[in-house]
Chain A
Amino acid sequence: MSKQSKQSIPSSRLYALLLIFLFSSFALVARAVNLQVMETDFLQGQGKARFLREVTIASTRGVITDRNGEPLAVSTPVDSVWVHPGELLEYPEKIEPLARLINADADEIERKLTQRANKEFVWLRRRLNPEIADKIRELEIPGVYLQKEYRRFYPAGEVTSHVIGFTNIDDIGQEGLELAYDSWLAGSPGSKRVIKNRKGQTVEEVELIRESDPGNDLHLSIDKRLQYLAYRELKSTVLKHGARSGSVVVLDVDSGEILAMVNQPSYNPNDPGHDTDGLRNRAVTDVIEPGSVMKPIAMTSILENRIATPTSPIETSPGWIVVSGHTITDHSNYGLLDTTGVITKSSNVGITKLALQLEPEQMWDTYSRFGFGEATGTGFPGESAGVLRNHRRWRRLEQATISYGYGISATPLQLAQAYAAIANGGKLRQPTFIQGANNPPISAIDPAVANAVARMLETVTTKAGTGSRARVANYRIAGKTGTSHKASASGYAASRYVSSFVGFGPASNPRLVCVVVINDPTGKEYYGGLVAAPLFSEVMTGAMRILNIPPDDYPAMLVSAGNTAGGQ
């Protein structure tokens, strides 16, 4: 049977079948070669895309600490809640408990979501409290998701807000050092390609696309304890005298490091709000006409150019002098003073008489060596340079007023820098917010002149001086009071003042410079010696104690242990 049928098949059909088989197998091989050889890249890429994932490596913003390592700004992960409107709107009854948790109106949320029903992503509330986030997670509402984000916290709050500033909701510095050192602090997130299995676990790291660069920490020169002390005292002084604003700066004489810088009004950096008046770091951004606190600068020029010695006599009677048709007056008629007495009593007439014997260029040169008219170079955003006009444009009256601090403007920080140079034997150091910054000292003035001026300044805090209220028990303090009329659109305002005190101590081995500026005290008292000097005394007393600075006559204070026992 089989034999018969085999013989009966015509060979032409057999060949045709063979040809079809051959052709189809050739087609298969061709296709296989095409896929395996020609299109490998595309197919392999597609295959890998089924299990390769690109994931980001998070980086956190660096911590800002004070000089003792106390954290002043720290980033921490918090949850933000977002919704998929379409998914959530299918369960309208679930909106109510959610709204209650985030303290919002349910109807309003529903309206907001209905408007955006065709979107897939809507922020509901960013940066939640961890407890609230946990409760939302427990509700397990469909279409409601939590996303990890970083939020910056400022534990010291309004005490450090002006120096440090704050970041916006996307963690980018907006003010202060957060802005100045944004790229140093920020770091950049990296990413890597990984293989994930069905369960979403990473089973293999294939390649690192971009290394994550964690933000760097920033160690400030600020001392949190001094900062708090200065802030507390400034706030109570500003309140007591009904002042518009105020600033205190404490500078380390040896290193130029800023130990404290506070201003009023302040704000809470954890919730900055929209009030822009309190945002400015006035100690750096705002200039004042310093008034009498500039007299030591003029006196430096007078001594440098040998116009007078600290003991040479100067007649200030009758308490006024006419320069280019303008009358410059003293507080009262001081009669015959010596040069030191001009500083002790803060005599405008005396300093005018002496300063007018200088060439404008000599005086300008001294002022600019002290750093006036030039930004201090801290890199603080919005730092002001103040104004010191070129001496070629000084008229005689201007030269006189600049000697007692009018017609020139400076920031409180510039004043601190200049006085630190006097305290430091004539060596000027650029102030800095960063601990251990590289700010080599520059010889600004002759050490002998600097020491002579420092000794003059010490007389200011004696009973006879204008700054007796600045005294600190057990320490010798050198300093200068200032009271200046505020400039307004129509000339100098008669009853609006800036009260200031700048000084340093202990006088025998100066360690700290402190600048106090109180702007527009509205109470009965407005003299620098009455408003700013007591605040200076409070801040310096606390600072000496906190920093353990020995008093000038420390050995004389010692009591032997036997005496103590007897005394008790």
Chain B
Amino acid sequence: MNSQILILFLVLVADVSTALGVVYTRHQSRHLAVELGALEVRQDEGLAEWSRLQIEQGWLADASQIEKTARGVLQMRQPDETQILVVRP
């Protein structure tokens, strides 16, 4: 009789503790899901930024712009054939 009550009590304790455990993990999983969502948003923003920077680099590295600056602003020119010597290494 006494042992039966003890078993019942233990089962009750186990039941309540797993119930609390379920509540806790549930809470945690929701918490992590929110965090994941936020990180996904950051990833999207990062990718968007990356694509914008690629485009910007593309514009800035545009050959016609570089040529204009090199020839116009920096007064650079290509040496002609007679001015080029190939040095033996």
Contact = CB atoms under 8 A, between A and B. Distances in A.
Contacts of A31: none
B8 interface: no
Interface in A530-558: 554, 557-558
Main secondary structure of the interface of A (DSSP, over half): mixed
Contacts of B67: 232
A70 interface: yes
Nearest to A153: B55
Contact of A204 (B29, B59, B86, B88): B29
Contact of A232 (B33, B34, B64): B64
A123 to B, nearest CB: 21
B40 to A, nearest CB: 9
A155 B59 contact: yes
A463 B62 CA distance: 38
Nearest to A560: B88
Given A74-B58, A204-B30, A564 B85 contact: yes
B55 A559 contact: no
Contacts of B36: 202, 205
Given A155-B62, A156-B58, A564 B87 contact: yes
B75 to A, nearest CB: 19
B51 A203 contact: no
Interface string B67-89: 10000000000000100011110
A58 interface: yes
Interface of B: 29-30, 33-34, 36-37, 44, 47-48, 51-52, 54-55, 57-59, 61-64, 67, 81, 85-88
Nearest to B80: A473
Interface of A: 58, 60, 63, 70-72, 74-77, 153, 155-157, 159, 194, 197, 201-205, 224-225, 228-229, 232, 473-474, 554, 557-561, 564, 567
A121 B30 CA distance: 34
A77 B47 CA distance: 9
Given A153-B55, A203-B30, A204-B29, A558 B86 contact: yes
B87 A561 contact: yes
Contacts of A159: 63
Contacts of B86: 554, 557-559
Contacts of B81: 473-474
A201 B54 contact: no
Given A58-B44, A559-B85, A567-B85, A76 B55 contact: yes
